[in-house]
C-alpha cells in the first residue's frame, strides 16, 4: 500500500503528537493561554519544517493553516493535514492533527472566523531529540 502526501503513513512511536482534551472547557475553549497541541506525523516533513524555520528567522510569527474537511473527508474520517502560512504562501504539509483532538482544532477555526479574525492558528517549531516538531498554540486563540 502506498501513501500520498494527503494520507499519512503510520506514525513512529516518537511522532504520534500530543495534547489533552482536559485542557479545554466544555465548549472547546482552551482553559488558558499555555494550551498547545503537538502535531503527529512530522518525521517525513523535516525538510519543510526546517525550511520554514529558516524563512521566519527570529520573527517568530509562524501561523498554521488547517483546511476545512470536505464531506468526503468527514465521511471517511480522514486525518486533518496542517501547513504553514509564511510570507503570503502556504508550505507543504508539516504534520497531522492527532486523532481525537480534531474537534479542538476545528472549533478553534470556527471561533476565529466568527470573531472576524483570520482562520490561522499561531504555531511554533520545537526542536526535540527526535527532530523538529510543530506545536499549535491553541491557547493564544482564546
Instruction: Give CA–CA dist 138/127, Å, rounded.
Output: 19
> H or E segment at 104?
helix 102-114
Q: Are 12 and 96 in contact (CB under 8 A)?
A: no
**What pLDDT tens digit does each residue of the chain (142 aa) get?**
444 455 565 777 788 889 999 999 988 999 999 999 999 999 999 999 999 999 887 676 899 999 887 888 777 778 899 999 998 899 999 999 998 899 899 999 999 999 999 999 999 999 999 999 999 999 999 8
The counts of H helices and E strands in the chain are: 3, 6
The confidence score (pLDDT) of residue 77 equals: 74
Output the pTM of the full model: 0.87
Amino acid at each position: 500500500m502506498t501513501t500520498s502526501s494527503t494520507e499519512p503513513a503510520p506514525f513512529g512511536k516518537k511522532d504520534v503528537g500530543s495534547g489533552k482534551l482536559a485542557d479545554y472547557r466544555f465548549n472547546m475553549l482552551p482553559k488558558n493561554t499555555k494550551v498547545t497541541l503537538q502535531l503527529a506525523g512530522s518525521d517525513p516533513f523535516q525538510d519543510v519544517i526546517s525550511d520554514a524555520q529558516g524563512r521566519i528567522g527570529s520573527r517568530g510569527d509562524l501561523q498554521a493553516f488547517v483546511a476545512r474537511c470536505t464531506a468526503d473527508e468527514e465521511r471517511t474520517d480522514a486525518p486533518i493535514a496542517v501547513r504553514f502560512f509564511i510570507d503570503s504562501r502556504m508550505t507543504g504539509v508539516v504534520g497531522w492533527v492527532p486523532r481525537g483532538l480534531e474537534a479542538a482544532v476545528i472549533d478553534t477555526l470556527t471561533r476565529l472566523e466568527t470573531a472576524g479574525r483570520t482562520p490561522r492558528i499561531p504555531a511554533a517549531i520545537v526542536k526535540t531529540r527526535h527532530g523538529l516538531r510543530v506545536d499549535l498554540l491553541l491557547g493564544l486563540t482564546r
